Chain A
Amino acid sequence: MSNETIHIDVHHITRVEGHGNIVVDIEKGKIEKVEWQVPEAPRFFEAMLIGRHYAEVAHITSRICGICSIGHTFASLKATENAFGIDISEQSRRLRDILLHAETLQSHILHVCYLVVPDLLKVNSVIPLIQTHREVVLLVTKLHRLANETCDIVGGRTTHPIRACVGGWTMIPTKKQLEELKKRHIEALSDLKKLAEVVKSLAGGLPKFERETEYVSLIDSKEYAFYDGQIKSSDVASPLPVHEYERVTNEYISPQSTAKWAKFNRDAYFVGALARYNNNHQQLTELSRQVAHSLGLNGTSSNPFMNSVAQVVETVFSTEKTIEHIDWLLNHELKEEKELKINVRAGRGIGAVEVPRGILFHDYTYDAKGICVKANCIIPTNQNLANIQKDMEKLVPEFKSRGKEELQFILEMLVRAYDPCISCSTHYLHVEFK
């Protein structure tokens, strides 16, 4: 085995969003090359925003992603509100949080159950599970539907929400709708506990692999952060304000990727559920903490494969928080917020939220008429690309003795564990011709 020659060249890894390639060359036991390549074309969303009125910006950026459209909408709105000095009401803030949690629930359960679990059951996709695990698949479909319908009722549409606007909300859900949603979310907690048991029964199949890295997420003194907070690095004692995000992301171009890489205190960092969990686990809600313990997350973890387990924990957290927000809304008089006076001014604003795959930044500069003149969006997946590379560089020596087939399988599992949204990660490259 130590003198084995292995060539792995996986083009278009399956069960991830977008296109990425894994290349490994081992010649007679010597590792010649380990590369995680991203060949996706840039999508130029930031260029599309130039010249657009502030009221259009969030609608455009919500189209960056079909799964994280809500997160993009809110990072965008927060950036615009930051530029114009606008504070939103507690009501709007809680409505936005409900939508963010619905997006998290939907994204995480689909990722874990449809993209990761097939690996643990040694099947190619979720399709065979219809025969072998039909009840589990139906449970996932039920939770998926709840998340989608929450987005419909609160945000006006499943994808690309239309009711959140700069400073407010165009149409508030009725109390009857909120009561029905609360009932369904309480029921969902039992369903999620059942799913957690299924994941627990399979979690032993996750590779035992550890690599110390830096974990970056939002942090908030009041709660496990999703909507608000400052930037927390596991390597730094004090968090940074969001407007200093560029000190954290430090994007640069890698020759093996059309998406930029990022680094902060090390040569790579991790964003996403595991980063949020590692930085904020002491702020989990009661039931989500119990689920974390039952799934083997007791304190921090440096196994990237545990990102999927952290996602399961977050589905429970998101459901508990949604119930809490609905309770607040039901106990307060709901007010229409569509007639807002927006004092447009020239300036720069930055918004950050946690989306399912990690911390997301939107940065806009407006002129005095509210026209966007500059934009920058830093996507969670592009922040993770360097960390995937570093994980592979450590994993290959440790697992190469298992032979080509198993090594390739574990590398693909590694990429899937990050739940990457690869085509969203290739944002605008600044190119200079000399």
Chain B
Amino acid sequence: MGDDGAGTYVVSLIINENLRAECVTLITPGYDLITYLQGREKAIIVDAAQFGGKPGEVRRIERSEIIPKKKSSGFSLHDSDIFKIIDYAEKLKIAPKDVSVYCIQQLRVEPGEELSPEVKTGAIRAANLITQEIIRESIIV
């Protein structure tokens, strides 16, 4: 779905860098996310987002800054809010000590395989930033 694939593209760039980190593409993991978070020291999540920035703009966001606006009809195994899942993992005392989130401002989310040029540039920038962060520690991305 166009720029919705920005996170996947970032992971594809990082996964070939032979870093000390497990890189996984989860798409819409729903509740499965919890099994990837469990037992980790640190996790980085990267995804396309709508935060009112310029297309392709990259922001590293602390969780405390996020006000999720996603509406759902309740707890769904298919499609849960990732921040609720992280909260859930924390309540279970199995969450990583540190979870950071990289957001890439999307331009177009519509059927198609290509990222818009601005978002692709932003994704490359995000990959570089995340790579630097990974080099310091062993994490999942």
Contacts and interface: CB of A to CB of B under 8 A. Distances in A.
Nearest to B75: A125
B77 interface: yes
A124 B74 CA distance: 9
A412 to B, nearest CB: 11
A226 B61 CA distance: 45
A99 to B, nearest CB: 15
A15 B32 contact: no
Interface residues of B, number: 20
Given A110-B31, A134-B92, A141-B94, A17 B73 contact: no
A393 B52 CA distance: 50
B128 interface: no
B2 interface: no
Contact of A144 (B35, B73, B74, B78): B35
A141 B73 contact: no
A125 B91 contact: no
A138 B94 contact: yes
| B interface, over-half SS | loop
Nearest to B73: A12
B80 to A, nearest CB: 10
Contacts of B27: 159
A299 to B, nearest CB: 31
Interface of B: 27-32, 34-35, 38, 73-79, 88, 91-92, 94
Interface of A: 12-15, 17, 19, 66-67, 110-111, 114-115, 124-127, 130-131, 134, 137-138, 141, 144-145, 148-149, 158-159
Given A114-B77, A137-B92, A141-B38, 7 more contacts: A12-B73, A66-B30, A67-B77, A110-B31, A114-B75, A124-B74, A141-B92
19 contacts: A14-B75, A17-B76, A66-B28, A66-B78, A67-B78, A114-B31, A125-B75, A126-B75, A130-B88, A130-B91, A134-B92, A138-B92, A141-B38, A141-B94, A144-B32, A149-B35, A159-B27, A159-B29, A159-B32
